[in-house]
Structure formats: structure tokens, C-alpha cells
């Protein structure tokens, strides 16, 4: 039997014969997996909550108010009833931008026309700007979301002037919404101030409650749909034709409108309102019922 290694002597040198070494196998390179790009997850523009932006450029709103007024008066000598219908069209331009508590702008046009019944054979009467109003009329409004107040501060409401009455309509498009909205979110803005009716100062108290109902994409922009319900009370005393009178009143209204998220401004709206006023004097009493339709359009 041979040994695994043989020792041979050759001139004093020892040579050791060994079994040949086995070659070390070369590891097979492992290839890295080829990355597969992930498919982008589509972003739903109507996903809640919705973040309300701020104005970045001037905004113009056109407001159309169609009003039917019915007055019933009684006295010791007679009783009479009268009815009038008017359509008022005005444009309001808001110049202020960014999230601020003060909005500045102007009433750029204000036109009034009598509403002619459809059965009348003549054409619609031309609209006219009242001679007592000069446009553009500067407007300043205060928006206080923390105190839930929205009001027109210039022209001064308590001045009993026609300019204040005209500018007050601009409050219809003034908003101070929360910065985040979702379906079912609601908030309230309120107002207590002095307004005038037939030059008689009246204390007006109003509350407007907003509820978010839905959202839609319009012209590539997200528009949140809101419903606003309002209540109003009026009271005051004064003199009419030399006679002391007392005026009380109450009203309610509803407006469905869109709010553009990118700048937090109203886009369009339609609504109705009713106001009933009672005037009581020593020899005369009168009840005035005012039904109005409100249409709002944003001029892009």
C-alpha cells in the first residue's frame, strides 16, 4: 500500500509528492432584478378634504336681483294694495388678493329696470342707472372668520344714503370660509348693524349658515357646492309724513352656489328670499312683502 505522499531523496533534497489540489469553482454571478417602474397613482381632484386657496387676481361678479314687492295699506278712510317688480343688475369688482380680513373693490355698474309681464305686447323697458348713484363706487368689506362676521364697512351702512343701500347687495358674494372643507362641514357668519328704510334707521340682525354638499370639476378647476340659508330681523322707529311709525320685519332666504377652491371665490349661484315688513302708525298700518330671486355669475 502506497502512502499518500512519497519521500524521495535526491542529493539531500527532499521532494514531497502530493495529490493535485482541486480547483476552486468560480461563483456564478447573480444578476440584479431589473427594476420595474411603478405605475403612478391617479390623484382624485375631488378627494376630501379640500384646501381653500386665496385670491391671486381681481375678481368681478355680476349680481341680478329680481324683486316683486306687494304693499297692502289700511287706514280709517281707505284700503289699497299696490305691486311692483324690478330687476336690478350690478357688477362688483374685488381688487384685493391674498388671505386678508379686508376686501377692497368697487361697484362698477348699477342698473334698474321695471319687470314687464310676459303678456304685455310692448318690449322690455330699457335699463337705466339711477341719477342718484355715481359709479364706480368704492367699497370696503370686513371679513372676520374668527368672529364669524362679514360686512360692508364703506359706504357706511348707517348713513341712510342710497350709496349704502346699493353697496349692501355686494355682501351676497362676500365669503369667509374655513381653510379646509369636506362634505357636511358647516359654518355661520352673522351681522348686527343699522340700515335704513324710507330714511328710517332700522336695527338689522342676520345669520347665514353654510353647509358643504358636494364638489365638481368645472373648466378644469374644483368647485365646491354649498347651500346657504339665512334669517333676518329688522326693527326701528321713526317718522313718516310727520307721523311716528314703528317698523318690524323678518325674512329668510336660501342660496345654492359654487366656491372655486383655487382662489376661494364664488363662481355662480341661484337663490330666493322673502322679507315681510310691518309699518304701524297712529292712523295707518302697512304690510310690505318682498319676494326676490338672486342670480350670481362670475366674470372670468
CATH number of the domain enclosing 212: 2.30.230
- Look at residue 27 and tell me if it is in a domain: no
Q: What is the pTM of this model?
A: 0.79
Answer yes or no: is 25 within a domain. Answer: no
**192 within some domain:** yes
Residue 13 maps to a domain:
no
d(C-alpha 183, C-alpha 176), whole Å? 17
Q: What domain count does the chain have? A: 1
Which residues are CB-contacts of 199 (< 8 A; sequence separation ≥ 6)? 160, 238
Q: Which of 18-27, 32-41, 290-299 has the lowest mean pLDDT?
A: 18-27
pLDDT at position 205 over 90: yes
Residue 262 falls inside a structural domain: yes
Beta carbons of 94 and 103 less than 8 angstroms apart:
yes
Peptide bond into 230 cis (omega under 30): no
pLDDT at 172 over 50: yes
CA dist list (Å): 41 to 2, 35, 44: 75, 18, 9
Q: Is residue 29 part of a domain?
A: no
Mean pLDDT of the 18-44 span: 69
Within a domain: 274? yes
* Residue 248 included in any domain: yes
Q: Is the peptide bond before 155 cis (omega within 30 degrees of 0)?
A: yes
Residue 202's domain comprises 50-299
Residue 11, pLDDT > 80, answer no
Confidence of residue 36 (pLDDT cuts 50, 70, 90): confident
Residue 6 predicted with pLDDT over 50: no
pLDDT of 13 = 44
Distance, in Å, from the CA atom of 31 to the CA atom of 26, rounded to the nearest integer, reads 15
* 133 vs 43, residue with greater confidence: 133
Mean per-residue pLDDT over the chain, rounded: 84
Amino acid at each position: 500500500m502506497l502512502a499518500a505522499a512519497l519521500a524521495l531523496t535526491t542529493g539531500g533534497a527532499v521532494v514531497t509528492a502530493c495529490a493535485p489540489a482541486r480547483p476552486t469553482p468560480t461563483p456564478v454571478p447573480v444578476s440584479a432584478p431589473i427594476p420595474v417602474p411603478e405605475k403612478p397613482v391617479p390623484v382624485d381632484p375631488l378627494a376630501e378634504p379640500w384646501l381653500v386657496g386665496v385670491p391671486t387676481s381681481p375678481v368681478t361678479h355680476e349680481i341680478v336681483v329680481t324683486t316683486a314687492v306687494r304693499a297692502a295699506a289700511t287706514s280709517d278712510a281707505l284700503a289699497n294694495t299696490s305691486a311692483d317688480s324690478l330687476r336690478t343688475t350690478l357688477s362688483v369688482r374685488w381688487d384685493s388678493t391674498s388671505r386678508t380680513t379686508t376686501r377692497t373693490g368697487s361697484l362698477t355698474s348699477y342698473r334698474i329696470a321695471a319687470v314687464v309681464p310676459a303678456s304685455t305686447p310692448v318690449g322690455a323697458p330699457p335699463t337705466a342707472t339711477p341719477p342718484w348713484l355715481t359709479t364706480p363706487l368704492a367699497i370696503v368689506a370686513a371679513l372676520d372668520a374668527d368672529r364669524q362676521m362679514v360686512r360692508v364697512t364703506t359706504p357706511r351702512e348707517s348713513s341712510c344714503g342710497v350709496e349704502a343701500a346699493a353697496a349692501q347687495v355686494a355682501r351676497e358674494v362676500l365669503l369667509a370660509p374655513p381653510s379646509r372643507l369636506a362634505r357636511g362641514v358647516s359654518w355661520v357668519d352673522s351681522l348686527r348693524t343699522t340700515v335704513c328704510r324710507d330714511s328710517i334707521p332700522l336695527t338689522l340682525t342676520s345669520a347665514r349658515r353654510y353647509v358643504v354638499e358636494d364638489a365638481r370639476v368645472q373648466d378644469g378647476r374644483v368647485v365646491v357646492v354649498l347651500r346657504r340659508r339665512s334669517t333676518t330681523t329688522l326693527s326701528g322707529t321713526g317718522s313718516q309724513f310727520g307721523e311716528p311709525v314703528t317698523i318690524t320685519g323678518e325674512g329668510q332666504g336660501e342660496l345654492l352656489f359654487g366656491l372655486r377652491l383655487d382662489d376661494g371665490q364664488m363662481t355662480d349661484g341661484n337663490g330666493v328670499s322673502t322679507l315681510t315688513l310691518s309699518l304701524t302708525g297712529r292712523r295707518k298700518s302697512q304690510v310690505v312683502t318682498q319676494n326676490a330671486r338672486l342670480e350670481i355669475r362670475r366674470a372670468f
